[in-house]
Amino acid sequence: MARARGALIVLEGVDKAGKTTQCARLVHALQQSGRPAEMMRFPDRSTTIGQLISAYLEKKSDLEDHTVHLLFSANRWERVYHASNNRGCRPLMKKKLEEGITLVVDRYAFSGAAFTSAKPGFSLDWCMKPDVGLPKPDLVMFLQLSPAEAALRGQFGEERYETSAFQRAVQQQFEELRKDSTVNWQVIDASQSVDDVHKSISSHSLHTVSAAQSLPLGELWK
Ligand code: Z5A
């Protein structure tokens, strides 16, 4: 009998919404309850492509806007199928999901589309295209936090994109993306305490982990 697959769960949101904190809490809680789970994050700065992205975000290098958008997407694709020693491709995300491991992912293609389309001259449609066909999340939780509340969590850092005006433009693009009813979006009030946000995220996730067991893994935006 085929093994029940894991769920693909994504956390999205603006700067300082608590995505990383909540991904770690959720993975820990799932593991404690006997459900295999692992965390992933994008950009994954550990790969060769990820290092190019990291240097760009840290303003150590400049990249043309279309080019860096495609690099962010390539950084996701390389974690779906990872080329290994010319012996073909070793699937990463897909294999783990098939093995019954739930993946909790800190940012995904939605950040890719929202951040680039917030730049002048980019349409959301163009920005979504390179990620069409990625493994489709079973659940995308958007951690909603106002710019004023985010500011209480500390100043913006030194990285590219960390300005109030750009983050507002990104919020608007996320709002557009959330109109897509083919994606299972849940908006979470991220202004609550860490524990209360976790409770809300856990409850959506447990439901999703059970439901995903009997559903095929979809393809994003197809
Ligand atoms: N990007 C892109 O352009 N294209 C793409 O395709 C992708 C990404 C995937 C990557 O940043 C940048 O790349 C990002 C988008 C762009 N640019 N921006 N802005 P990253 O992933 O390396 O870092 P980040 O995602 O920007 O992290 P973050 O937003 O700064 O943080 P967070 O993960 O949402 O929050 P946190 O680290 O869990 O918490 C932040 C602080 O708030 C921390 O001190 C916590 O202790 C505190 N916190 C967390 N929760 C709470 C609650 N509930 N109450 C009070 N305080 C809290």
Which residues sit with their C-beta closer than 6 Å to ligand 1? 13, 15-21, 42-43, 57, 72, 107, 111-112, 115, 153-154, 161-162, 193-194, 197
Where is pLDDT greater, at 148 or 211?
Answer: 211
> Around 99, how many Cα atoms within 13 Å sit in the side-chain half-sphere?
11
Q: Is residue 85 in a domain? A: no
Checking if the pLDDT of 222 tops 70, the result is yes
Whether 111 is covered by a domain: the verdict is yes
Q: Determine, yes or no, domain membership for 57.
A: no
End-to-end CA distance of the chain: 29
Cα–Cα distance measured from residue 154 to residue 149, given in angstroms and rounded to the nearest whole number: 10
Task: Report, as an integer, the average pLDDT of 116-121.
Answer: 98
This prediction has a pTM of 0.96
Residue 165 in any domain: the answer is: yes
**Segment 67-107, tens digit of pLDDT:** 999 999 999 999 997 666 555 565 699 999 999 999 999 99
Residues 6-55: pLDDT tens digits? 999 999 998 899 999 999 999 999 999 999 999 999 999 999 999 999 99
Distances (CA, A) of 147 to 37, 140, 202: 31, 21, 25
Q: Is residue 31 part of a domain?
A: yes
Q: How many separate domains does the chain show?
A: 1
Q: Which residues contact 158 (CB under 8 A, 6 or more apart)?
A: 58, 59
Angle at 201 between CA 40 and CA 170, to 5 degrees: 65
- Per the structure block, which two tokens stand in for 84? 């290994």
> Which residue's CA lies nearest to atom 31 of ligand 1?
16
> What value does the mean pLDDT of the chain take?
94
Give ipTM to 2 decimals: 0.97
Mutate to test the pocket of ligand 1, among 20, 155, 201 (most ligand atoms within 8 A of CB): 20
**β-bridge partners, 38:** 103
Short-list 115, 111, 109, 108, CA closest to 131: 109
> Which residue type is seen at 75?
N
For residue 89, the model assigns a pLDDT of 63
What are the CA-CA distances from residue 7 to residues 12, 84, 169 (Å)? 16, 25, 30
CA distances from 134 to 84, 108, 202, 206, 217 (A): 19, 10, 24, 23, 10
Supply the CATH number for residue 22's domain: 3.40.50.300
Helix 164-177 × helix 109-117 angle, to 10°: 120
pLDDT of residue 163: 87
Residue with token string 């860096």: 68
Q: What is the pLDDT of residue 158?
A: 82
Residues 11 and 129: their CA atoms lie apart, in Å, by 21
Determine, yes or no, domain membership for 54: no
Instruction: Work out the pLDDT band at 3, boundaries 50, 70, 90.
Output: confident
219 lies in a domain? no
Predicted confidence at residue 207, as pLDDT, reads: 97
Q: Which atom of ligand 1 is nearest to the CA of 167?
A: 19
Residue 51 is assigned to a structural domain of this protein: no
pLDDT for the residue 123: 98
pLDDT value of residue 32 = 98
Q: What is the residue range of 185's domain?
A: 8-41+101-212
Alpha carbons 148 and 135: distance in angstroms, whole number:
34
What pLDDT score was predicted for residue 155?
78
